[in-house]
Chains A and B, each alone.
Chain A
Amino acid sequence: MKMKIIVCIKQIRHTYAQTGMDHTRHFLAPEDDVYRINPHDEAALELALRVKDTRGDTEIILLTLGPLIADEALRRCLAMGADYLYRIDCNRSPDPWEKSLALTRTIKDLKADLILCGKESIDTQNGQVGAMVAHDLKMPFISAIIEIAASRDKLQADVKRSCGRGVREEIRCRLPAVFSVDSSGIEPRIPTYEARVKAGAYPIKTIPYASNGAGRKVISGKRYPPRPRPKRAPAPDSRLDAYHRIQHLFTGSRVEKKGEMLTGTTVSQVEGIVSFLLEHGFVKTQHEEK
């Protein structure tokens, strides 16, 4: 029977350097970013393609969300061997809750036997979307898998999970399910030129997305832009005057970290985090919202 795999891929702005001179832009220069697909998501696609290679009759659907910022990279993913590519339209920058809602709705429409996604994105590093999608779809979820053998007929998948520090875990799971993929040791394949040309002409179908945020249990409040990373600045640009040089040194220098360490059992730590968030108004309870 035909197996349907949905791979959720995220287009990210990968900031790999801080070489700008302007502290108001957090020392970010235009060259400091590359637009690409999250590497963990690429690994997820590679795993899906391996399933397709071994069992044959498989359809792979790529699902991405948000504005088309990495068109070329998306088409490269398509050229690797996926069959369809859908984009959920959304111009705001949504939080994981909103994302999972949008994805869940689309996945319910498309119907899949297996949903794969990266274990986290390398820009926001929430690592939550997969678990939340699984929750919303009422499907089992396994995180950070590195190998998969799926069977549509037996409705089960054998996966190997990376538990960190080289520890591996073998898990058998019933399908349909949601797995998030760790990219370690998975080298995405290189698309052939022919496939690239075909993917270049592929019309990316857009799914309109309208969200009123209804039905959410958690609403995230304020978001803070990144604090400039402590910057080692051995020699401020000598062409600047003294005032600006000193300003550079100050804004670029190391900032003392504040905070308190939570100790105790896992439960008490979680309680501590939740009470902290509530106290400072980062999140509101459902009760308060009403």
Chain B
Amino acid sequence: MITAFDILLIGAVILIMLAGFAGRRMLWRKGREENRSGDLTGLAGYLIGQQLILKRRFAGVAHLFLFWGIVVFLLVIILAQFPMIIPATAARILSLGLEILGAVMLAGIIFFIIRRRQFKYISADKISPQKVLFPVIILMIILITGFLAAGTRMSIVPSDKLWVSPIGWGLSNILPGSPLLMQIMIRCHFLAVLLFLACLPFTFMRHLAAGTLNVYYRRKGNRGKLRVADLDDGYVGAKTVDDFTWKQLLDVEACVSCGRCAENCPALISGKPLSPRKIVQDISWQMEQARSNGSWLADAISGEEIWSCTTCMACVEHCPIFVEPLDKIIDIRRYQVLGCGNLPPEAKPMIRDLEIFGDVQGKGVAHRTDWALGREVSLLSDRNRATDILLWIGCSGAFHPRYRETSRSMVKLLHAGGVDFAILGKHELCCGDPARRLGEERLFQELARKNIKRFNQYRFQKIVTLCPHCFNTLKNEYPDFGGEYQVMHATEFVLDLIKAKRITPKYPVGQALSVHDPCYLGRINQIFEPVRDVCRAVPGIEIRELPRNREYGFCCGGGGGRMWLHESLGRHINQIRAEEAAKAGAELVGTACPYCLTMLEDGIAALEREKPPKVMDVVEIVASSLGAEF
């Protein structure tokens, strides 16, 4: 069957493929060093089940069939080269199985081609994914020629076991029984397979290797953590592609440009020029083209794009192969700020206030305790004994006129529950999240070190934070600077209090409530249910979910320093979300984040509805349900 020439051809194709992959590996391996450990069991589970890809129902199923089809056919082809005896029935069932698999694969491929052609790009996302159609069409040719070959064979040698190969039998009725045609079909099939193999590294099909590797080296554990920029080492962010680590470049290499990041990106949906897919594809393009001439990332990626990101992590959450566009955006921001001194002008005063006063509002640490005037809140510095709970108020809780109400509600809850707690008061500084998300890594590290020094002076068991951004920073990012503490978000803590019957919500607050999931609490730290459970504990509240909830939750538009930036491009993200909340028809919108609270309140006010829903923090909802005795 196989001639010596064929073997030579196969060898050559495998060589081309390996050389291609080696060349690609050279490209992404040139990135900076980074320690990553692989996870083989996780990879196996991922490949077998493909749950992440299956999140998109039809495309996921089609992909699953294609993946398993290729695996099974490859195995069969390789095994068929060795002489072995299989019982006739088993062979027949195998043949039927393969035929069905082939048919399903063909259906999948046709689905993919139609889908790609009909794909509707959202405004700024007009980057055409490169070299996508070619390998898919070759795959289709492989299958069609395979079926045609089977069909001609069956019309030459009619078989009585028709059920073994139903499609072949169907085709044999219309195909002439010509041995020449069969030979041509078989050669075409064979050459198409070789072409497919050879083009693997040079088209998007390289994701067979790069995607697998990317899943193998994926980030384990907490996702809210950003890479620490080693400033002493002279790293000030990504100026060119070479400043990314090899894992970041592997991300780029693995991207198949499926567009799930773009579909969920609040910036793109609201008409901003940012598309996470475009960012990754731009970097990929620069990685291929610009290595030799060292052009800047800023040449391809505009400032408007990178400053539009709300760091809501929807792109990271929805990527089926663990590509993280966010950390690339942050690294580009870092270079803009640390390397060039380019901050958006609106953010400059905020960063300056952080430098001088240590809080985002520029009120100064001396005013940190003003919100607690007349309330019994003890300071950690006044205590000689160990304290159970360190209540971390955060800049918003201490200074934002609206969110101060939430701080007071939290204090009310803690008193009602008889919790032993204290605040840092004047010793508290901003946790550094706004600075870090805006790329001001130096300032963040300075604030983090100062805060950790403070924490280490006192004895406490747990930190409870009001703001999910502080929560994420203290819990996930401070360990990198030597500050490992047990951190809880206020909603979790309040839920614990309710479960332990230390507080009991008594009075109804409202009937219908929609929950807006803060990105930093929900998507990033996977805390979805406590917010809802806390609301359910309040008598009379029925939860009416918003259309985009939990991991699909839509950003309020305030994260990543966007709180301080003007939203001059496209629609306002908070108004889109506010519209959704208003349409849901609930009288209350519960959230658990100062940014979400402010942004949604502003958004709902901008809608100018007659009966606008009231936005409340869940802590406030529980506190007002306790009544006035505390």
| B341–A19 touching, CB < 8 Å | no
Residues of A within 8 A of B338 (CB): 192-193
Give a binary string over A1-41; 1 marks a CB under 8 Å from any B CB, 0 the rest.
Answer: 00000000000000011010000000001011010100000
| A34–B345 touching, CB < 8 Å | no
A235 close to B (CB within 8 Å): yes
Residues of A within 8 A of B180 (CB): none
Task: Give the number of residue pairs across the A-B interface with Cβ within 8 Å.
Answer: 51
A123 close to B (CB within 8 Å): no
Instruction: Find B340's partner among A34, A36, A187, A192 (CB 8 Å cutoff).
Output: A192
A109 close to B (CB within 8 Å): no
Give a binary string over B354-381; 1 marks a CB under 8 Å from any A CB, 0 the rest.
Answer: 0111000000111100000110000000
Residues of B within 8 A of A192 (CB): 236, 338-341
Residues of A within 8 A of B341 (CB): 189-192
Q: How far is the CB of B567 from chain A (nearest CB, A)?
A: 20
| A187-B347 Cα distance, complex, nearest whole Å | 11
Residues of A within 8 A of B191 (CB): none
Quick one: closest B residue to A191, CB to CB? Answer: B341
Instruction: Find A193's partner among B349, B367, B442 (CB 8 Å cutoff).
Output: B442
| A224-B587 Cα distance, complex, nearest whole Å | 59
**Given A187-B348, A192-B338; A17-B236 close (CB under 8 Å):** no
| A191-B342 Cα distance, complex, nearest whole Å | 9
Q: How far is the CB of A246 from chain B (nearest CB, A)?
A: 19
A196 close to B (CB within 8 Å): yes
**Given A190-B348, A194-B236, A196-B442; A31-B364 close (CB under 8 Å):** yes
| A190-B354 Cα distance, complex, nearest whole Å | 13
A188-208, CB < 8 A from B: 188-194, 196
| B231–A193 touching, CB < 8 Å | yes
Quick one: closest A residue to B358, CB to CB? Answer: A34
Residues of B within 8 A of A31 (CB): 364-366, 426
Residues of A within 8 A of B236 (CB): 192-194
**Given A190-B348, A196-B442; A19-B373 close (CB under 8 Å):** no
B351 close to A (CB within 8 Å): yes
| A119-B15 Cα distance, complex, nearest whole Å | 74
Interface size class of A (residues with CB under 8 A): 20 to 34
B252-279, CB < 8 A from A: none
**Given A17-B367, A31-B366; A190-B356 close (CB under 8 Å):** no
| B366–A32 touching, CB < 8 Å | yes
B343 close to A (CB within 8 Å): yes
| A34–B357 touching, CB < 8 Å | yes
| A194-B337 Cα distance, complex, nearest whole Å | 11
Q: How far is the CB of B151 from chain A (nearest CB, A)?
A: 68
Give a binary string over A177-194; 1 marks a CB under 8 Å from any B CB, 0 the rest.
Answer: 000000000011111111
| A36–B356 touching, CB < 8 Å | yes
Give a binary string over A108-149; 1 marks a CB under 8 Å from any B CB, 0 the rest.
Answer: 000000000000000000000000000000000000000000
Residues of A within 8 A of B337 (CB): 190
Quick one: closest A residue to B441, CB to CB? Answer: A193
| B373–A17 touching, CB < 8 Å | no
Q: How far is the CB of A195 from chain B (nearest CB, A)?
A: 8
| B373–A34 touching, CB < 8 Å | no
| A29-B357 Cα distance, complex, nearest whole Å | 15
Residues of A within 8 A of B364 (CB): 16-17, 31-32, 34
Can you name 14 A-B pairs with beta carbons within 8 Å?
A16-B364, A17-B366, A19-B426, A29-B426, A31-B364, A32-B366, A36-B356, A189-B341, A190-B337, A191-B341, A192-B338, A192-B339, A193-B338, A235-B374
For the complex of A and B, 9 pairs with smallest distance between CB atoms: A17-B366, A193-B338, A190-B341, A31-B366, A19-B366, A32-B366, A192-B341, A193-B236, A31-B426
Q: A31-B366, A192-B341 are in contact. List 4 more A-B contacts (CB 8 A).
A: A29-B366, A29-B426, A192-B339, A196-B442
